[in-house]
């Protein structure tokens, strides 16, 4: 059946995709590698016909650069905190949701809403909820504390300067963690709920006959049978977490930090874009490669762990 004509036809159907991929995917891979390993590569220098020696100078500069360490620290912290928190929360919510009938669909729709939002737009809403208007320099009184502080004060707590000028790093991080977890829940609930619905009911009937307790059923039956889905949301969570950027822009704006303290919350992706807008392509490429290696290692690690723990 295969003749010269179909040979030619297959490539014809693929041609549009392959041409696009060649320009915007394959060439960038080669070029980024070249730029990352060309010592001191800049776009201006390259346009001026400068030639570069090959080496790992860009990587050394990136790692030695103090701003990059901050970015790396922020990215890792956000990942390590938000991925487990959102996964456990999503697991509890989906198990609870799976056990009820009334309101099930309505709640499922509500939980999915954060997904169909613009992360910049809702970031601005979170900024407003944590924002304080007219805070005095000593931090004791303000015109408007913002709804989150109002709630804290209702329970007898003290208002906290979350995101305004002079705010503490951990307060900023707390806001970002809350926002990212809120934003990450819908996808995880969707996947885990889908997994739960495909678990055979016979396991639960058997456990009931044996008189197993609820928590025992959760940890001994539900979690092991759900482990492929849990592994999936953890891996995608880490991949997304290491690329965190727009949610921070949403809350803090392009300065990536509270007023008077820009860039304290910058991430690796933010670092890449900063280097790019400074025309420092070599450094941006080196940072992008470092990001790729980090994501690759973390994904492999996750796969290795899940291979040992995941029950298929």
Partner 1 sequence: MDKEENKMTEKVDSENIAPENDSVEIVKIEVSQEELDVKKIKRSQKIGKIAATVGVYIFLIFIAIIVLFPFYWMLNSSLKTIEEYKWTKPSFFPNKLDWANYYEAYKAASLGDLFLHTVYVGLISTVLSLIITVLSAFAFARLDFKGKNAVFAVLLATMMIPGELFTITNYSTIYALGWQNTFSAMIIPFLVSVFYIYLLRQNFLQIPNELYLAAKVDGTSDFKYLLKVMVPLALPTLISITILKMMGAWNTYVWPNLVANDDAHKLITNGLRNAFTAADGTSDYPVQMAAVAIVSAPLFIVFLFLRKYIMKGVSRSGIKG
Looking only at residues 220 through 239 of this chain, which bind partner 1 when binding is defined by CB under 8 A?
Answer: 236, 239
Q: Which of residues 169-198 bind partner 1 (CB under 8 A)?
A: 182, 185, 187, 190-191, 194
From candidates 49, 66, 121, 138, binder to partner 1 by CB under 8 A: 121
Q: What does DSSP assign to residue 37?
A: T
Q: Which runs of consecutive H residues, i.e. helices, occur in 102-168? A: 104-112, 119-130, 147-154
CA gap 62, 289 in Å, rounded:
11
Question: CB-wise, 70 or 245, nearer to partner 1?
Answer: 245
From candidates 32, 39, 227, 306, binder to partner 1 by CB under 8 A: 32
- 292 binds partner 1 per the rule CB under 8 A: yes
| Closest separation in Å from C-beta 241 to partner 1 | 10
CA gap 123, 115 in Å, rounded:
13
Q: State whether residue 102 is helix, strand or coil.
A: coil
What Å distances lie between residue 145 and 30, 130, 134, 163, CA to CA?
Answer: 52, 8, 8, 12
CA gap 295, 240 in Å, rounded:
9
- 209 binds partner 1 per the rule CB under 8 A: no
Q: What does DSSP assign to residue 254?
A: T
Of the candidate spans 60-68, 95-103, 218-226, 303-311, the one that interacts with partner 1 by CB under 8 A turns out to be: 95-103
Tokens of 176: 């970002």
CA gap 273, 271 in Å, rounded:
5
Q: Do the beta carbons of residue 186 and residue 111 sit within 8 Å?
A: yes
| Closest separation in Å from C-beta 132 to partner 1 | 6
Contact characters 247-266, partner 1, x per CB under 8 A: --xx-xxxx--xx-------
φ, ψ of residue 72 in degrees (nearest 5): -60, -45
Q: What does DSSP assign to residue 210?
A: T
Question: CB-wise, 63 or 128, nearer to partner 1?
Answer: 128
How many Cα neighbours within 13 Å face the side chain of 5?
Answer: 1
From candidates 56, 80, 92, 297, binder to partner 1 by CB under 8 A: 92
- 168 binds partner 1 per the rule CB under 8 A: no
| Closest separation in Å from C-beta 87 to partner 1 | 14
Q: Do the beta carbons of residue 186 and residue 86 sit within 8 Å?
A: no
Question: CB-wise, 164 or 302, nearer to partner 1?
Answer: 164
Question: CB-wise, 54 or 121, nearer to partner 1?
Answer: 121
Of the candidate spans 49-57, 70-78, 142-150, 304-312, the one that interacts with partner 1 by CB under 8 A turns out to be: 142-150
CA gap 151, 169 in Å, rounded:
21
Q: Which of residues 42-71 bind partner 1 (CB under 8 A)?
A: 43
Q: Residue 170: is it exposed, middle or buried by C-beta count within 10 angstroms (0-12/13-18/19+)?
A: exposed
Count residues contacting partner 1 (CB under 8 A)?
A: 102
- 214 binds partner 1 per the rule CB under 8 A: yes
- 289 binds partner 1 per the rule CB under 8 A: yes
From candidates 55, 56, 150, 216, binder to partner 1 by CB under 8 A: 150
- 213 binds partner 1 per the rule CB under 8 A: no
- 115 binds partner 1 per the rule CB under 8 A: yes
């Amino acid at each position: 059946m295969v003749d010269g004509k179909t040979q030619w036809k297959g490539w014809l159907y693929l041609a549009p995709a392959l041409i696009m991929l060649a320009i915007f995917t394959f060439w960038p891979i080669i070029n980024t590698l070249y730029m990352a390993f060309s010592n001191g590569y800049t776009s201006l220098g390259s346009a001026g016909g400068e030639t570069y020696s090959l080496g790992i100078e860009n990587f050394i500069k990136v790692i030695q650069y103090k701003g990059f360490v901050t970015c790396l620290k922020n990215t890792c912290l956000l990942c390590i905190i938000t991925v487990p928190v959102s996964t456990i929360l999503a697991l509890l919510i989906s198990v609870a949701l799976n056990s009820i009938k009334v309101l099930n669909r309505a709640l499922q729709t509500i939980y999915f809403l954060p997904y169909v939002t613009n992360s910049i737009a809702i970031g601005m809403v979170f900024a407003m909820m944590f924002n304080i208007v007219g805070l005095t320099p000593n931090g004791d009184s303000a015109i408007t504390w913002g709804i989150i502080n109002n709630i804290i004060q209702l329970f007898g707590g003290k208002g906290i300067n979350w995101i305004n000028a002079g705010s503490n790093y951990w307060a900023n991080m707390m806001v970002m963690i809350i926002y990212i977890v809120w934003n990450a829940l819908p996808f995880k609930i969707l996947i885990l709920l889908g997994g739960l619905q495909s678990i055979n009911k016979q396991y639960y009937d058997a456990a009931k006959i044996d008189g197993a307790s609820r928590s025992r059923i959760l940890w001994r039956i539900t979690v092991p049978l759900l482990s492929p889905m849990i592994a999936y949301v953890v891996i995608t969570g880490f991949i997304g977490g290491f690329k965190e950027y727009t949610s921070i822009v949403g809350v803090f704006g392009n300065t990536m930090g509270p007023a008077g303290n820009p860039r304290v919350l910058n991430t690796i992706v933010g670092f890449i874009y900063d280097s790019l807008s400074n025309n420092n392509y070599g450094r941006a490429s080196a940072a992008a490669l470092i990001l790729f290696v980090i994501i690759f290692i973390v994904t492999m690690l996750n796969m290795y762990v899940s291979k040992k723990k995941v029950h298929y």
